[in-house]
């Protein structure tokens, strides 16, 4: 999997990295049980501070996307992905609300917004189907 970070983005690097790893899992380019580079190795490969990668891995572990084994290192959770919880739905609502509000302010219809979301879903899920 290729990780691309935008060092000029307002989005923090750890968030970009976390988002790309989750997208890799969703698309199937990262499989359950697959190893990720060590914190030090990932930081070196990406040219970022190791604390940035450590923060990313800590958040991914807390959310249930990865496991950290003393012998195996960091791996995509082989036992499956986190389930939908009320907390996740609340978090998702909070993340999407400003996006929906801006789309409305810009004059976008509900159908236009839903089409964009459906296209993104298909694009990510399409990779999963090819890897299964």
Cα dihedral 105, 87, 24, 59, rounded to 10, equals 110
The pLDDT value recorded for residue 126 is: 82
Closest CA relative to residue 72, chosen from 17, 33, 18, 30: 33
**Do 17 and 50 fall within a single domain?**
yes
Q: Is the pLDDT of residue 128 over 70?
A: no
CATH number for 39: 1.10.10.10
C-alpha separations of 67 from 102, 107, 120 in Å: 36, 43, 27
Q: Is the pLDDT of residue 14 over 70?
A: yes
**Do 99 and 66 fall within a single domain?**
no
The pLDDT value recorded for residue 132 is: 44
What is the pTM (predicted TM-score) of this model?
A: 0.87
Two structure tokens written together for 19: 């988002």
Q: Is the pLDDT of residue 76 over 70?
A: yes
* Span 87-117, pLDDT tens digits: 999 999 999 999 999 999 999 999 999 999 9
Instruction: Classify residue 7: in a domain, yes or no.
Output: no
């Amino acid at each position: 999997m290729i990780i691309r970070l935008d060092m000029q983005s307002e989005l923090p690097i750890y968030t970009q990295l976390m988002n790309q790893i989750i997208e890799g899992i969703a698309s199937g380019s990262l499989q359950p049980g697959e190893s990720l580079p060590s914190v030090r190795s990932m930081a070196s490969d990406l040219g970022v501070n190791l604390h940035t990668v450590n923060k990313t891995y800590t958040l991914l572990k807390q959310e249930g996307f990865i496991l950290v084994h003393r012998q195996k290192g960091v791996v995509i959770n082989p036992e499956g992905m986190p389930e939908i919880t009320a907390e996740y739905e609340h978090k998702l609502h909070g993340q999407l609300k400003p996006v929906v509000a801006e789309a409305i302010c810009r004059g976008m219809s509900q159908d236009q917004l839903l089409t964009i979301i459906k296209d993104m879903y298909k694009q990510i899920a399409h990779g999963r189907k090819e890897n299964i």
